[in-house]
Each structure stands twice: as C-alpha cells, then as structure tokens.
Structure 1
C-alpha cells in the first residue's frame, strides 16, 4: 500500500466506533461507500507532460483577405511580442480551443477561421488535432504529426486511417467532451463536483456542477484579465480555485472528501426541505380549517333557512329506497325461479334416457327367451329322432309287409353294403346319422341353452337396476318441481313497483315546478358533505411525521461530517511533505521576482496561500496588483518545478502567460521578472513549455531567437 493511501476497512471501523450505539457497521459501510474508493488520488508525478510542436490556422478576414498562420513551437519559453490588440491573445485562445473545445476568442476571429491544425505530444506520443470550422465544427484527433496529416490530406487518404484516430467529432460539444476524456485519461484528472445554494433563506434547492477540463485549463492559460486572481475571477464559487489546486497537485483523499462533502450538502438540502415542508403544512392546515369552518357554517345556515321557508314540500327518497328494495327482491326471486326451472328441466331430461334403456333391455330379454324356446324345440326334436332311429334300426324284416315275399339274406347284405332297400330294391342317397354325432349335437344345444339362460339372468338384473335408477330420477324430478313451485310469486312486487313509479312520476311533475329551489338545496347538501369531509380530514391529519426521517438524515450527516473531519486530519499529515516543498519553491520564486519583503509562504488547511509580508500574514487578494502578478507567476512556476525537481504533482508543465507585466511595474521588478523567465528557460527548457505574449520589449531576450516572434510597432501577429 502506498504511503499516501488509507486502509478503508480500518477507517470504517474507526468511524463506526464513534457511532456504534446508533448504527450497525454495515450501515456505516453503505453510507460511506464511494464508487471510486478512497485511494484514487496520488501526488506522484505521472512522468509525462504536454508539449505543443506546431500550430496552423487559416481563414479569411473581412473583404475576403486570406491569411494563414503556421508556426513551429518548442520546449522551453516561446515568445510573442507585439503591440496590444495585434493578435497575441487570439493565438492563445485558438490554442485553448484546440485543446479544450471551449471558445473564448472574439466573434470576428470566429467568423474568420476556416480550419485549425495543432500538433502536440504527451510524453513520446504525438497527436494532431484538426478542426474544420466551415459550417458546423467537425474534425478528428490523429495519432501522428502534422506533416503526415498534410500529406494524407493532400493525397485524399485520410478516410482510410480509422485505426490511427483517437476520435472524430461532428460538433463543438462532441469536441469538448472527447478532449476532456482524452486529457483526463492522460493526466489522471477527473470531475470534481461542487454545490451552490439559492440566496433565499426559504429555498433549499441545490445545484450541482462539475469542474471540467476547460476549468482545469485555467491553471495552464493565465489570461491577462485574471492576474488579480490566483486562478480566475469566479474561483470562490464552489471553492473551484481550491479544487483546481487539489487536482493539479494530486493531493491524497481529494476524491473522498469531495464526494462526501457533496453527500453532506445533499443531506442538508433534504433536511431543510423537510423542515420547511412541516412548517408549511402546519400553517396551511390552520388557514384551511378557519376558511372551511366559516364556509361550512354559512352552508348550514342557508340550508336551515331554505327548509324553514317550506318551499320544498315533497321527498321522494323513501319511495326510491323502497323501489330499490322491491326491485332487488324481484330480481332475486326471478333468479331463483330461473335456477329452479333449469334444475327441474335438467332432471326431467334425464328420465327418458333411462326409460329407453329399460325398453332396450326388455327387448333383449324377449329375444333371449325366444332363442331359448327355439333351442328347447331343437333338443326335443333331436331326442325324438334319436329314439325313432334306434327303434327302426333294430327291426329284422323277414317278409315284405305288402306282398309277404320273404326278404332273403342276400338282399339284407346288399342293403348293408350297397344301400339298396331289401324290400323295394331302390338305392338310397341319404347317409345314416350315427348315434355319436346325434349325441354331440344334442350336447351343443344344451350348452347354448345354458349360455342364453345366463344372459337372460344378467338382463333381468340390469333391468331391475335401471328400474331403481328410474324411480330415483322420478323422485328427483318431483323434488325439483316442488322447489320450483315453492319460489314466491313476483306478481305483487311488480304491481307495487308500478305503483311507486307512478308516485315518483307525480313527484317529478311537482319537482319541475320547483326546480330552482331543488337545485339550490342539492347544491347546498353536496357542499355541506364536501366541507364536512374536508374538516374531518384536516382534524384527522397530524403534522407530517417526518421526525423519524429527520433523525435518520441527521445521523447520516453527523457520520459523514465525522468521516470528513477524520479524512481532513489524515490529509494534513499526508500532505505535509508536498506542501512544504511547494511553500519553499514559491518563496524562492517570489523573492526572485523582487518581493523580498515576503519572508514566509504558508499553505493553510483550506489550501489557501498565506504570505507573511513584513511579519504580517495576508492572503493573495490582499497583495497589491503588481505583487499579485509576480506571486501568481511564482505559484505556477513552482507547481511545475515541484514536478520537475521532486516528481510530485500532475500539472501538464505547459503554461500560457498572456501579457504578464501589463500592470504598472517598476523597472527593477520588470527586470527581475524578465530575468526569472530567462532563468526558467535556461534551467527547464527541455522539461516544460511556456508561451509568453507581451507588448513589453523588455522580454525580447528571455528565450532563444528561433523561439521568439517579435513584431514591429503596429504589426499584426497574423
């Protein structure tokens, strides 16, 4: 674990120990949980810085006078000297636009510009941003230098290099968003948040804003209009100046302190709204009750007076109620009758199928009886046949009964073997039935008789069962019929309904004559009911029971504030080394700038710079205008030196000084500023980049001649 990190688990336990009587450890974890954790920040240098290599922009001035600016840029100090209003600030603002997407140059410059091309590098990686300003802003960020970009564009090959694009854009908003993501990623910046409250005491609404890349860029581009402020004019809104300071130094615990502070502000907003809502509800209830009670008394009085006057002499409400009761009874009885009739018909319908079944069974029984009789006859005939055959087959005929001639033995043999009658001599074709065959046939007939008798018995049993079922069903039909006839008649009720209808019609005829009074009475009755309901609701309601919610929110706020106090204390210890080094660097620089009466620099717990001048502590805003300029330059140069010399902080090491020394500076101090810039260039020319734009010729020798653009009097930069 880095020495600037904290142990989150131990921190949660530490906070919980203070609130263990009120809340569980897991709840503390939930309240203090942050998406990016507590160790997002590190003051250690990222080891790379921003370096601009070449800037090209072109367009048409008024009267269609074309211009093209093309300049190589170098590490160390790059210098532009020209009279005021000759284009120095415009060059810087074009650079700002190319790096942030935020436009701040004058409208006429905006109309002139047609395209901007800027080559820069971060560490060893080279990039070219191209912005086409003809119409809607569009373009891309490429991962190569300007020379290759121009070559590819001239040969119409830019469309085939998608893999060498960081991003492209089709609007100024897209450009701004993509550049922010790009530089945040490279320099480990992120969006710090702050809240702002309405100036009204009764308004607890908070608005939340973010510090964008364009805001952080104010620590790079020191505009001429902001030299009286350490960062920029509105730096105190949401403590933006302090947040920029925290971000460019990478101070430990910046992220958790920022996010927990935001949560604390949000909870305060909720608490304020709840308290205001309770107050408003109480006041509204009192006012509403008084108003409604007054109105209710007036309605009651009007109703009493109306009825007292006797204008309304009829009331059909009892008739309507009676009509409704009878109608409901008639409807009920009709439903009962329909139900009973349906049940009766349903049971009646079940009778005939049973009768049909019995009839079919009886027919089957008759057929079986007939078959048994037939078989009995067959058996009898077969028995007689058998007995007759046996009788005649045993006769030994001696003589013919007709002629009394003797029947010889030869004829008897012939009859036996050739089937010729021993009496008449005729040959018979009929074969004699054997006795065994007759016996078998007789046995089969007896078996069939037995089978049919079994079937007959089963049919008789089934018929008896169906007859019982028929009896039960007939009883059910009778029972349902009794229920049907037991349903009361609706005739008398229907007759009464018709009578009531006539009475109501008569009342309605009277009502037409007094319609105005009726309408007024009904209106008052409705109003009375509404007002009575409103009074009851007001009396039932208690004050908004938000005490539990307020208690919970207050506890959460105390927990967050305690956690913040603990983090601030921890942060002071973690930042001692880096802040001490920065204090020493700033002190050396301001004294080199001629502010020798500043004996000490101290950065307090709110990260404000305190200058001890002639034994008196004072803030930046209490310095004179000339002192502010030198102190501001010293501050930013020191932040960069902190990275170069101590590998601390994450400033991109790129600065733009727009018109330093523009305020009235005595010659000695102006010379001191010139010398310190020259010294910075000599010491750190390969480790930072500073752009200086000035109208003061005294700065002409602060850098090498090839890095300087010095215009004659009244000559434009472009």
Structure 2
C-alpha cells in the first residue's frame, strides 16, 4: 500500500458519512502528507533483509577472587587470604542445539547472560561479584550472506563501565593489543554500547526503530517511547528469573510486545502504524486540551468583555458630554453638578445598605423562629406516636394530687413515670388530642414563617441588585469627579485625543477577545478533531491491512504452538492463539485463559512452545524475520516434573532434527536429562559440582 492508496481509502470512509461539515480531500492529503509516512509505506518486506544469525564462538576472561585458608606455623591459627585467580572461558558453538549442564552457581546462566549482553547491548542482571570478575568479552557471530563479526568489549569497575567495538573479523584474526584495526562500530559507556549494537543489527535484520507515545492516569502529558533492536533481541532470550520477556509480558511492556511480535512476524507496516498512532494520540490530546482551555477561559473572557463594554460606554458618554458642552473643560458648572450627583448617590448607597441590613436581621429572626417551631412540631409527633410525657407540654394536673406539673426542658422518656409532687405512679396517656392540637398549631406557624422568609428573600435580592447598581454609579461618578481637575489642566484637545485613543484601544481588545468566545472557536476545534479522526482512520485501515496479511502467518504459528503446548502437557488445551493485540491466550476447557493468569509452570511451557513455533515459522514457511536464535535458561525450572521436562526436550530435539542446520538453540540446566537427550559433542557437561569457568 502506498500513500495515495491510503489517502483514497481514508477519504472514501469520510465521504460516505453524512455530516454537517463534510471533510475535504485536500485536508486528508495535508494531514497524511504532514505525517511523513510515505517512506515507511514504501519500505516493504521485499527490500528488507530477513537474515539468519549464528553464534560461532564465546570467549571471555577475567580474575576470580578466591578464599584460601592457611594454618600458621604453630598449627593453632587459621589465616584467611584472598587471591586473584585468572580464568578464561572459550567455546566453539555450532548450529542446532548447544547446551550446558552443571549444578547451581556453576556459571551456566552467566555464560548465557554474557552472550545476551553482546547481542542486545543491554547489561544483564549479573551478580555484583561475578560482574567484577569480568575483564574482556568477545562473541563471534555470523550473519548469513553478510559476513563474520566479533563483538568485543572490556568491562571496567568505574565509569565508563564498558567500552568496545564491532569488527568484521573472527576472534582468531583480531591482533592482540592492536587497537588500530578498522572497526564497524565503537562504543564507550552503556548507552553508547546499546545504540551501537542496535544500529549494527537493526539495519542488517530489517528491524526498524519504532516510536509511539503513552499516557498515564491523572497525567495530561504523553510519554515518548521507542523500540529498536535493543528490545527485539531481548525477545529471543528466555531468562531463568521469572520467564517474562518482551514477546509475551506479564502485565508489563504491553506496547513493546505488540511491536516485537509484529516485527518477528515480518509485518513491515508496524512502524507506519506506530507513527500514525503516535500522531493520532498527540492530535487527540491537543483537541481535548484546547477544548478544555476554551471552556475554562469562557467565563473569564465573557466577564472581561462586559467590563470593557462598560468602559467603552463611559468613554462614549464622556465624548458625548464634550459634544453637548457638559464637560468640565467646557462648562465650569458641570463640576458642581457632578458633586451633587456624588452626594445624592452616597446618601442613596447608605440608605440602601441600611435597608439590606434590616432585611438580613429580619431573615435571621424568622429562621430562628422557624427552627423552634420545627422542633416543637417534632416533639408533638413523637409524643403522639409513643404516647410519652414530654417536658415543655403542659400536662394540666396530676390525677391524684390535683397539682399542676411544672414544665421542664428535655425529654422525659420514662418507663414508669410518677408525679414529681406526690410521687404517685402515672399511667401513659392514651389521649393525644392536646398534642395533635399543638402539632397543628406548630405546622401552621411553620407555613406562615416560610411565606415570610420568601418575602424577605425577595426583598433582599431586590435590595442587593439596587445596591450593586448604586455602587457602580457612585464609583463612576467618583472617578469622574476625581478626573475633572485633570481634564481642566489637560485642555479640550488633549482630553478628546486621549478619550479617542482609549476608545480605539478598548475596541481592539474587544475584537481580539471576541475571537476567543466559544462559538467563534468552533471551526478551530472542529479542525483539530477532524485531524485526529483522519489519523485514527488511516491507522485502522493499515491495521486491517496488516491483519489480512498476517492471517496466514498467525495460522501457522498458532497451530504449531498448540501442537507443542499439548506435547508439553499443558492441561486441557484446545487452542493456543493471539488476539488482535497480540496477547497470548490458551483455550482451556472451552474458555480462553490469558497467558498472564496461568501458573508459572504453564507460562514457561507456553512460552517455549511459542518460541519454537516462531523458529519453525521462519525456517519452514519462510515467514517473519526471526534471526533463528533462541536462548533458554533453565527450561526445567518452575517445579517441572520429569515427564514434562522430557516432553520439552523432545520438542526441542524435534526442531533440532528437522531444522538444526537453519536454527541455533542455546540452553542451560541443572538437570542431567539435558545431557542425555542430545549428542555429547553438543553439550558441555560439568558433573560433581565442577564450575564451567
């Protein structure tokens, strides 16, 4: 697909939609041309190399610190001494299976991590003491139809922690202590090494650098992300730590793994899709931020416009007064008139303010009275419901001693009430007529107070509006009065010129602010939204094109992964598949189960199955861009049974037997079954707790 085809498909989508504001084709052309994706669209798989990588030799050296215990001459004191013991590791590798078998902490994982370090440019998670041992590393590789190279670097305890080079020579032909040989790449420091390795392998294997952006919750900023050989190459390595990688991550690096899977499948449009996705998210965020900004500023802009309009009215009135001979510079009696107006408005302001205070006091009084009436009504309701004596209610007299019971504040919620005068027992009253009469009276009083409160509120609102108007007029007249002496000093010509200048300045501000009013920003916001929609639609069109292209590749991949998962004893598996986001699923007992929810043992087996399926897809069907190297550390971990481990070894052996001359698998384990499963010349076996170096 080229740019013109993408433009036509994108425009056809919007042309078929009935909208109030139809999209012009020229706008679609402008947006997609500005996206700068023409070059990416033209970079198809036909001009991208899909080479094969072979690791030919592993060499590293350094000094170990070893504790040495000696006994003193009198045979009584043990002396602990640390010694630097030089070590050197050198092994020739070949195609097919290459294995290491040794006990724990004997150097298996270290060897694999050093290889990965050279291939990725990313420092591995080595133990600090082991890292301190290393001094020189050299990994000899062959890139099919390209040449033999050596990645050589030196490890240092201080910064820069690493420096080295990539040369087009095998290790044997690199002169000792000769830094003058021609280097393809040189690096000093960890970041420099990562960049040099990514640049070297990326252009030879056709792994393009891809950029995109990500957002975080509660954060309006977009974080720039990219993926290159640094990530792609790590996907070839299954580590022994937690079996997470960049192909099928466990709730992390999700965007990375989508790009990595796409690249391994040879979907060359992934870089273009990522570019469009990045631009779409940026355009969408710009539209949202501008929309919020305009809505947030609307209140301030409208208030500012009203203020400027009032100022303009004042200036127009002053100019009109000058024209009507009512200004101080023309009529001296006008000063007296303004003084009288200020005095009248001041008096009016005082009276209005006093009236407002009176209404506020009246409102407060009515509220207090209403609260008391509501309290009394509630007491009556409870008295009627529970038939209790309530203090504050006049119980006329004791039926025994005929003495009035005095009123007292608070509830008398008594189970066995008695007369407070004669102390004879009283029965709960069954007659609530008196309470009902009091309740009715209290409710009528509440309604009356509500009417009074509404009346007072209306008076308060009216008085406040009047007070605001009086304050504005008084402020204007005071400013005018204070400005009269300046006008008299300035004279007619100067005053009129200043008024006209102010009028022009305010009119200009009003024109600028009028452009910021929301209804005048509709075209601007609509264009921003249309831009994001065009980018999103173009991205979807390319994704659909990729999905159609990848159906065959995914079909082969999923069938082989399912076959291997069954062979590796993953329980109740009917199908292994990738969803549209390239997340790994297994249909178990009829239900889809995402990879991240599987137990660790199943995760390991599923991952090995998919990596082996990737290898077969590349070498058997010639689909994808897998370099043909797979590194598996501790495939027998995760509490794996002998039966399952032997099944995994059988799967690896099958790939080795069919495609051993086209792939390379490096693996290490503590389990001696690995040594029995493959020819001895393929396995470096260290029994009896011996170290590999």
Residues 285-304 of structure 1 aligned to structure 2 (within 5 Å)? none
Residue 155 of structure 2 is aligned with which of 133, 136, 143? 133
Aligned pair 1:701/2:676, yes or no?
Answer: yes
Work out whether residues 135 and 154 of structure 2, in 8 Å CA contact, stay in contact via their aligned partners in 1.
yes
Residues 373-384 of structure 1 aligned to structure 2 (within 5 Å)? none
Residue 122 of structure 1 is aligned with which of 128, 143, 154? 143
User: How far is the alpha carbon of 1:173 from its aligned partner?
Assistant: 2.2
Write the distance in 1 (CA, Å) between the matches of 2:262 and 2:55.
25
Q: 1:296 to 1:682 in 2, by over 3 A?
A: farther
Residue 268 of structure 1 is aligned with which of 280, 284, 290? 284
Residue 634 of structure 2 is aligned with which of 641, 656, 659? 659
Which residue pairs with 1:643 in the alignment? 618
CA-to-partner distance for each residue in 1:213-267, whole Å, 9 max, x for gaps?
Answer: 2211222111123426673646654522121100111125323322222221111
- Any idea what SS the aligned residue of 2:39 has? coil
User: How far is the alpha carbon of 1:286 from its aligned partner?
Assistant: 7.9
Write the distance in 2 (CA, Å) between the matches of 1:716 and 1:296.
95
Residues 620-635 of structure 1 aligned to structure 2 (within 5 Å)? 620-635=595-610
Q: 1:277 to 1:686 in 2, by over 3 A?
A: same
TM-score where L is the length of structure 1: 0.62
Which residue pairs with 1:474 in the alignment? none
Q: 1:8 to 1:711 in 2, by over 3 A?
A: same
Aligned pair 1:612/2:553, yes or no?
Answer: no
Aligned pair 1:555/2:530, yes or no?
Answer: yes
Work out whether residues 164 and 187 of structure 2, in 8 Å CA contact, stay in contact via their aligned partners in 1.
yes
> Bigger CA drift: 62-71 or 121-130?
62-71
Residue 148 of structure 1 is aligned with which of 173, 177, 201? 173
User: How far is the alpha carbon of 1:7 from its aligned partner?
Assistant: 5.1
- Any idea what SS the aligned residue of 1:38 has? helix
Q: Which has the higher contact order (CA 8 A, sep 6+)?
A: 1
Which residue pairs with 1:691 in the alignment? 666
Q: 1:229 to 1:173 in 2, by over 3 A?
A: closer
Work out whether residues 119 and 128 of structure 1, in 8 Å CA contact, stay in contact via their aligned partners in 2.
yes
Aligned pair 1:49/2:70, yes or no?
Answer: no
Which residue pairs with 1:176 in the alignment? 194
Write the distance in 2 (CA, Å) between the matches of 1:560 and 1:598.
40
Which protein is bigger by CA-based radius of gyration?
A: 1
Work out whether residues 248 and 584 of structure 2, in 8 Å CA contact, stay in contact via their aligned partners in 1.
no
Which residue pairs with 2:390 in the alignment? none
Which residue pairs with 2:373 in the alignment? none
> Bigger CA drift: 648-657 or 312-321?
312-321
Work out whether residues 202 and 228 of structure 2, in 8 Å CA contact, stay in contact via their aligned partners in 1.
no
Write the distance in 2 (CA, Å) between the matches of 1:128 and 1:229.
26
Residues 180-259 of structure 1 aligned to structure 2 (within 5 Å)? 180-200=198-218, 203-227=219-243, 231=247, 233=249, 236-237=252-253, 239-259=255-275
Write the distance in 2 (CA, Å) between the matches of 1:286 and 1:714.
82
Work out whether residues 681 and 702 of structure 1, in 8 Å CA contact, stay in contact via their aligned partners in 2.
no
Work out whether residues 289 and 538 of structure 1, in 8 Å CA contact, stay in contact via their aligned partners in 2.
no
Q: 1:285 to 1:652 in 2, by over 3 A?
A: same
Which residue pairs with 1:75 in the alignment? 95
Q: Unpaired segments of 5 or more residues in structure 1?
A: 1-5, 326-528
Which residue pairs with 1:543 in the alignment? 517
Aligned pair 1:12/2:7, yes or no?
Answer: yes
Q: 1:320 to 1:659 in 2, by over 3 A?
A: same
CA-to-partner distance for each residue in 1:264-304, whole Å, 9 max, x for gaps?
Answer: 11111111211221233235558999999999999998999
Work out whether residues 218 and 232 of structure 1, in 8 Å CA contact, stay in contact via their aligned partners in 2.
no
User: How far is the alpha carbon of 1:174 from its aligned partner?
Assistant: 2.2
CA-to-partner distance for each residue in 1:197-219, whole Å, 9 max, x for gaps?
Answer: 1211xx43211200132211222
Write the distance in 2 (CA, Å) between the matches of 1:287 and 1:88.
74
Which residue pairs with 2:364 in the alignment? none
Work out whether residues 43 and 252 of structure 1, in 8 Å CA contact, stay in contact via their aligned partners in 2.
no
Work out whether residues 219 and 244 of structure 1, in 8 Å CA contact, stay in contact via their aligned partners in 2.
yes
- Any idea what SS the aligned residue of 1:224 has? coil
Work out whether residues 194 and 262 of structure 1, in 8 Å CA contact, stay in contact via their aligned partners in 2.
yes
- Any idea what SS the aligned residue of 1:278 has? helix
Structure number with the higher helix fraction is: 1
Q: 1:306 to 1:258 in 2, by over 3 A?
A: closer
User: How far is the alpha carbon of 1:321 from its aligned partner?
Assistant: 6.3
Write the distance in 2 (CA, Å) between the matches of 1:204 and 1:28.
27
**Structural RMSD (CA):** 3.8
Which residue pairs with 1:505 in the alignment? none
Which residue pairs with 2:649 in the alignment? 674
Write the distance in 2 (CA, Å) between the matches of 1:88 and 1:206.
41
